[in-house]
Amino acid sequence: MPRLLIPLATLTLAASACGPGEGRPPTDQPSEGVVDEEGTDLTAPGILTAACGSGEVTLTLLSDEDGTELSARTFDTDSVTGGESEHFPFGHAVLPQEGSVRGVDCENADPFLNDRELLFVSFVEELDGTEVNGFGVVDEAGTLTALSPPRDTGDFTVLSDYTRPHLDRERNRIVFVEQEGDEGDGTVHALDLGSGETTPIGECETHCHTITLPPGAESPLFGLATHRIVVDPGSGLAAASHGAYEPSVFLFDPGSESTDGFPEFSYGTGEPTNVMGEVAHMFEGPSLLVENDELTVVEFTAEDLTADGAVGDDLGSRTLVPPSERTNTSPQPSPDGTEIVFLSETESGEASWYRVPFDGSTEPERISDVPAEHLGSTIVAWQ
């Protein structure tokens, strides 16, 4: 599970960081999960990894004790066909353009819906000679079902684009933007995944392309949509990454300003920390896990955003991994939030999975080496 802009001939999956305890959205027809030949469910306890190859996505469930492969499933995203899904009766068949389903984001669990049965995707189709964007789900057989609202067509009808889809697991909905023609403004909608009903929740103007919905946030935010954003549900405080090559972290209150009725933030509305890396997860407290080679944990309060000198060196922080020449990525919290699992690679390319207590009480413990067939996979959930 898992910052997108959707050009007309490409697909990107809705992505956002996923904190501990966040469930998969239910539907009116709940799935029993994906089961392999030996009877292991892909939703069973373990470490879920994802590998994005050319035209396919592979999910693999591994033991968090010894790294043994428990179950695996591969989705074809290259040669999809339009159809209907039994999991979403309100969905409808579409005729996607060849190659329009691609660009899968394997960094988080958000693209995996309904007990891992389906991939949540965006796509491009051609209607009345016009390319339009939509979103839906793809099953293992390569059947694409559109969940975005159907369109009325006609010779002089202006067709809507459905862009920026974000999965809101807690509220069992998808938030997206409807735009018409080349205009920059649009309407933000919420699609109920149980009933299929679509409800407008606000208007956007020049900021439509930067709308995002971090896990834990009560409403969409505007700004920095191409960077990771995490929110503490308890306090409402948030953090985001700034910079492309050596990103630093800044903290902000997403309710400090408002645009078109939605909270707006920018570099100017936050306070930078002295931590380099991408924001990964937010825990109640709040405590922020930063993805860098030492896996830094930053602890802060609302007062730290305004008190002179409180942000930066004075923030409470600790590292979970000793300094080394290894590259450490894909940190994911355990279901109870007490441990972190991550992928560690040497300069020569050898890789292993490790686990480490979130409180930093002990050094990382190696789970197992990463087999050759799993090199290039990322950890998307510890369940």
CA pair distance 299, 283, nearest whole angstrom: 9
CA pair distance 333, 373, nearest whole angstrom: 24
- The SS3 call for residue 129 is coil
Residues 6+ apart with CB under 8 A from 233: 216, 284
State which amino acid sits at residue 269: T
- Residue among 147, 155, 92 at smallest CA distance from 129: 155
* Mean pLDDT for the stretch of residues 355-368: 96
- The SS3 call for residue 313 is coil
- Indicate the pairing of strand 143-146 with strand 81-82: parallel
CA pair distance 2, 146, nearest whole angstrom: 20
Predicted TM-score of the model (pTM): 0.82
Residues 6+ apart with CB under 8 A from 107: 2, 15, 330, 378, 380
Look up residue 97 and give its DSSP letter. Answer: P
Q: Could you tell me how far CA 54 lies from the centroid of its own chain?
A: 20
Q: Tens of pLDDT along 14-30? A: 333 333 333 333 333 43
Q: What is the CA radius of gyration of the chain?
A: 21
Q: What are phi and psi of 267, to 5 degrees?
A: -60, -30
Q: Tens of pLDDT along 89-140? A: 999 998 877 777 855 667 665 667 656 678 888 898 888 778 889 999 988 8
CA pair distance 200, 261, nearest whole angstrom: 13
Q: Tens of pLDDT along 69-97? A: 998 888 888 888 899 999 999 999 988 77
- Check if the beta carbon of residue 42 is closer than 8 Å to that of residue 48: yes
- Residue 254 is predicted with a pLDDT of 78
CA pair distance 59, 43, nearest whole angstrom: 11
CA pair distance 337, 357, nearest whole angstrom: 9
- Residue 101 is predicted with a pLDDT of 81
- Residue among 155, 96, 148, 83 at smallest CA distance from 125: 96
- Residue 1, pLDDT above cutoff 60: no
Rounded percentage of the chain residues whose pLDDT exceeds 90: 35
- Residue 326, pLDDT above cutoff 90: yes
Q: What are phi and psi of 374, to 5 degrees?
A: -105, 0
* Mean pLDDT for the stretch of residues 217-246: 82
- Residue among 3, 121, 115 at smallest CA distance from 52: 121
CA pair distance 178, 133, nearest whole angstrom: 10
What is the per-residue burial (b if ≥16 Cβ within 10 Å, else e) of 281-291?
Answer: bbbeebbbbbb
Find tokens 């309100």 and name the residue: 90
Q: Determine the Cα angle at 168 with ends 12 and 34, to 5°.
A: 75
